[in-house]
A = this chain, B = another copy of it.
Amino acid sequence: MKNQIKRLATINRIQSTGLELFYQKGFYNTSLDDILKKLSLSKGAFYYHFQSKEEFFISIAQTLLFRKVYLDLIAPIEGKEDPLDTIIQCLDTNLETAENNFLDYGFILGNFITEFNGKNPEVMTYLQDILTVWEVNLVTILQKGKTDGYISRHVDSEALASFIISSYMGVRTLMVEKKNKRLRYKYIQQLRQYFKTMDSRATV
């Protein structure tokens, strides 16, 4: 195996396992030994590729974390026709995945924002950046929905986007308690009802 390729492969392996454990147990509560033990790697390997634990997390945020948020929440709604319906479908799909996943620990990006807030401003900026990409994308799609005649013109796209993000982050946090089985259904039901009032084609 070419060295350059092996290098990237190792980096990716460490990052993947790192993100997995950081998501499960939190950044501060996960030790490098936890990650390296799972990979049968040594401290030497880690510090050869990364400068510090913090720089390591930032590299994860910029690659794997961003990619996950993009694939899960942004890509599925890009270029679709009916924005409101598409957004509902996308959110419901994500909630379904979380619901079926026995080991779900909430909205990964939201969890990290909560964990780093007030502790590490630098890391926070990278997390906020990802959130902003999502928000901007939502606003753009909602605006397009208005010009395309899917959404009533009186709707405030930015406010709606913020509201969607807020409610989704919150419901993902609530879903960590498995007792509340019908939470996904309740949430989607309410959101759908709310969206109905914004449909310019509706007969409300």
The A contact surface, by secondary structure, is helix
Do the beta carbons of B193 and A180 come within 8 Å of each other? no
Residues of B with C-beta under 8 A to A131: 174, 177
Asked if A117 is at the interface (CB within 8 A of a chain B CB), the reply is: yes
Asked if A29 is at the interface (CB within 8 A of a chain B CB), the reply is: yes
Chain A, interface size: which category? 35 or more
* This protein's copies in its complex: 2
Checking B26, B159, B176, B197 against A197 with a beta-carbon cut-off of 8 angstroms, the contacting residue is B197
Do the beta carbons of B163 and A186 come within 8 Å of each other? yes
Cβ of A178 to closest chain B Cβ, rounded Å: 10
Q: Which of A103, A170, A176 has the most CB of B within 10 A?
A: A170
**Contacts A118-B25, A166-B167, A169-B169 given; does A189 touch B156 at CB 8 Å:** yes
Cβ of A201 to closest chain B Cβ, rounded Å: 17
Residues of B with C-beta under 8 A to A197: 193-194, 197
Residue ID in chain B nearest A28 by CB atoms:
B29
Do the beta carbons of B115 and A159 come within 8 Å of each other? no
**Can you report 16 A-B residue pairs in the complex whose CB atoms are below 8 A from each other?**
A24-B118, A110-B173, A111-B114, A113-B176, A114-B114, A114-B176, A118-B176, A131-B174, A159-B189, A162-B187, A162-B190, A163-B167, A166-B173, A169-B170, A169-B173, A173-B173
